[in-house]
Amino acid sequence: MNYRISLVLSAILLSISALPLSAQDNYEEALMKQFHMISSAEAYEWVAELASPKYNGRLSGSPGYIAAAEWVAGNLRKWGIKPGGDNGDYFQWFDKGYNEIHELGSLCLHIPVKDGKVIKKYYPFPDQFFPGMTSASGELTAEVVYIGYGVTAPEHNYDDYNGIDVKGKIVLMNRDVPFKNSRDPEYTKWVKYCYHQYKLENAVKHGAAGMLYIGGNHANPNISYDPNFIWCGIGPEPLKDIFAGLKTINKDVLKKIDGSMKPHSFNTGTRVSISANTTWHPEGRVCNVIGIIEGSDPVLKNEVIIIGGHLDAVGNCGVLLPGALDNASGAVDIMGTAKAMGLSGISLKRSVMFLFIGGEEVGLLGSKHYVENPKFAKEKTICYINLDMVGNGTGFYIGAGKSYPGIYKYLEEANQEFLHRSMRSSEARDNYGRPRTDGAIFSRAGIPTLGIGITGSLKPVHYHRPGDTAEMVTPEVMEDVSKLLYIALTRMAREGKIR
Ligand SMILES: [Zn+2]
């Protein structure tokens, strides 16, 4: 055997004997290569993109939301993530009208002075006055009637409208219901009355022309629209002004109502004007954006691990509401994981779904639509991991991690090996209240649900306000959330049996 042939042969033999090891090496190498490509700079760039005026605050139903959905889908396609929506596309559509707000509008209090004259006191946006996100258009001047919680519950012998005329008036209304403890099973008998939708519809039913919603100094599009009902949210100052001279304050009245479970409604004797300039679009449509990496195992590919978060935000109230932390951050965390998993080329046994949810801010519609029209059988859904406002702070918080130790383990190990951030977790807890997150919808559908959160906020949170800009996220922690999920999901999806 000449020297050259022997060299070639030994090289071949070497490579054959090294094969199993090299497959493992390739996996580790591929895993690490994309791990290190996940970057805070890219996370920031994507948050800034989604929060930009181009998407106009991503209100569900509006063209801005659809443009954002298309941008996300275009990225998924680039990274080799397969469409998992309807008709071979990335989109899972449903209908939802939306309200277009042309300008901030205003709220003013009429202060009577001598000779029947009035002084008008205007309130500043956003702390004391916030436009009603589903307000009809027009100007309304009327007397203000205090109606507690605005609840009519005959089965509880409770009616805030009993014996008081609100026809053509502006009702002054609190959030929630007189029964307080949402961890008490008794709360289920009250829960239908705490929806914002119900409260507005009940006011309309009683003939009110408008509403001042207390504690509403941020955007709330999760409420009904009525073509003849003008409303706005208010902060503490107009509330104080309306109560001036009434010898009581709202807090004390509520205490009385809650303590006796008896309504306490009255005419405040104050007049206000609300003005709004809006257009209702009943033809609105929303979608979830669904990307999938299919498993390669003939049996396990029917199982799916889902990470999801809402892509929509609260729109534009005459001023852009960028929705950077809420929830461009969560959507971008998912994008970071999707990109790394898509480009790593690592073969998975199970399927993984990246779910960008629409309609969250208008009543958790996208998550409801998904669980009613799932793409994988519910019993084959290993877990749903929700990301909402995951981009400001230093530590990881895994909601319900303690209730699902077999899944939590993967997150804990990924953190211990690679990220070394503080990590806490909690038990899933019963809550009989109005569901407030997409996670609650999945959980109530019987799917094991965890939520990722961030502890140790580093920046102020401008919830549903113009200040929720890209500068308000901390991209370093977003990079690490994507890395955490990338490692944990890749390993979970490759495992024969999840511990
Ligand atoms: Zn949110």
The pLDDT value recorded for residue 39 is 98
Dist. CA 264 → ligand 1 center (Å): 34
Dist. CA 426 → ligand 1 center (Å): 20
User: Within 13 Å, how many C-alpha atoms sit on residue 52's CB side?
Assistant: 11
Dist. CA 7 → ligand 1 center (Å): 63
Same domain, 192 and 171: yes
Dist. CA 180 → ligand 1 center (Å): 23
Dist. CA 175 → ligand 1 center (Å): 19
Rounded to the nearest 5 degrees, what angle is found at the Cα of 97, between the Cα atoms of 92 and 98?
110
Number of independent structural domains in the chain: 2
pLDDT one digit per residue (tens) for the chain, 499 residues:
455 555 444 545 444 444 555 778 899 999 999 999 999 999 999 999 999 999 999 999 999 999 999 999 999 999 999 999 999 999 999 999 999 999 999 999 999 999 989 999 999 999 999 999 999 999 999 999 999 999 999 999 999 999 999 999 999 999 999 998 888 999 999 999 999 999 999 999 999 999 999 998 999 999 999 999 999 999 999 999 999 989 999 999 999 999 999 999 999 999 999 999 999 999 999 999 999 999 999 999 999 999 999 999 999 999 999 999 999 999 999 999 999 999 999 999 999 999 999 999 999 999 999 999 999 999 999 999 999 999 999 999 999 999 999 999 999 999 999 999 999 999 998 788 889 999 999 999 999 999 999 999 999 999 999 999 999 999 999 999 999 999 999 999 999 888 6
**Does residue 230 fall inside a structural domain?**
yes
Kindly state the tokens that stand for 92.
């899972």
Dist. CA 494 → ligand 1 center (Å): 31
User: Exposed, middle or buried by CB within 10 Å (0-12, 13-18, 19+), for 496?
Assistant: exposed
Kindly state the tokens that stand for 315.
């729109």
Same domain, 327 and 475: yes
Rounded to the nearest 5 degrees, what angle is found at the Cα of 342, between the Cα atoms of 37 and 410?
80
Dist. CA 347 → ligand 1 center (Å): 32
Dist. CA 470 → ligand 1 center (Å): 15
Same domain, 320 and 347: yes
Same domain, 241 and 318: no
Dist. CA 42 → ligand 1 center (Å): 21
Q: Are 167 and 147 in contact (CB under 8 A)?
A: no
Dist. CA 387 → ligand 1 center (Å): 9
Dist. CA 254 → ligand 1 center (Å): 28
Dist. CA 349 → ligand 1 center (Å): 32
Residues with CB under 5 A from ligand 1 (ion): 326-327, 388
Same domain, 247 and 313: no
Same domain, 91 and 122: no
Query: Residues 6 or more apart from 465 whose CB is under 8 A from it?
Result: 126, 218, 219, 321
Q: For strand 82-83 and strand 285-293, is the pairing parallel, antiparallel, or unpaired?
A: antiparallel
Q: Distance from first CA to last CA of the chain, Å, rounded?
A: 53
Dist. CA 269 → ligand 1 center (Å): 38
The pLDDT value recorded for residue 430 is 76
Q: Which residues pair with 29 in a beta bridge?
A: none
Same domain, 351 and 370: yes
| Alpha carbon distance 476, 192 (integer Å) | 41
pTM (2 d.p.): 0.94
Dist. CA 464 → ligand 1 center (Å): 9
What is the CATH classification number for the domain harbouring 395? 3.40.630.10
Dist. CA 121 → ligand 1 center (Å): 34
Dist. CA 410 → ligand 1 center (Å): 25
Cα torsion angle, 451, 455, 459, 463, sign: positive
Dist. CA 256 → ligand 1 center (Å): 33
Same domain, 146 and 293: no
Same domain, 363 and 483: yes
Dist. CA 447 → ligand 1 center (Å): 20
The pLDDT value recorded for residue 497 is 87
Query: Residues 6 or more apart from 301 whose CB is under 8 A from it?
Result: 294, 295, 349, 350, 351
**Does residue 2 fall inside a structural domain?**
no
**Does residue 20 fall inside a structural domain?**
no
Dist. CA 437 → ligand 1 center (Å): 7
Dist. CA 326 → ligand 1 center (Å): 5
The pLDDT value recorded for residue 431 is 81
Dist. CA 311 → ligand 1 center (Å): 9
Same domain, 373 and 415: yes
Dist. CA 388 → ligand 1 center (Å): 5
Domain final position from 281, 309, 337: 281
Domain final position from 281, 310, 337: 281
| Alpha carbon distance 432, 190 (integer Å) | 9
**Does residue 269 fall inside a structural domain?**
yes
Dist. CA 328 → ligand 1 center (Å): 9
The pLDDT value recorded for residue 110 is 97
The pLDDT value recorded for residue 461 is 96
**Does residue 17 fall inside a structural domain?**
no
Q: For strand 449-455 and strand 381-387, is the pairing parallel, antiparallel, or unpaired?
A: parallel
Dist. CA 463 → ligand 1 center (Å): 9
Dist. CA 310 → ligand 1 center (Å): 7
Domain final position from 281, 296, 319: 281
Same domain, 146 and 169: yes
Kindly state the tokens that stand for 358.
């629409």
**Does residue 18 fall inside a structural domain?**
no
**Does residue 16 fall inside a structural domain?**
no
**Does residue 21 fall inside a structural domain?**
no
Measure Cα distances from 348 to 78, 170, 296, 345, 446 in Å: 19, 59, 6, 9, 25
For residue 248, how far is the Cα from the chain centroid? Answer: 36
Dist. CA 468 → ligand 1 center (Å): 12
The pLDDT value recorded for residue 353 is 98
The pLDDT value recorded for residue 77 is 98
Same domain, 314 and 269: no
Dist. CA 158 → ligand 1 center (Å): 33
Dist. CA 15 → ligand 1 center (Å): 52
Q: Are 279 and 99 in contact (CB under 8 A)?
A: yes
What is the CATH classification number for the domain harbouring 212? 3.50.30.30
Residue range(s) defining the domain that contains residue 242: 103-281
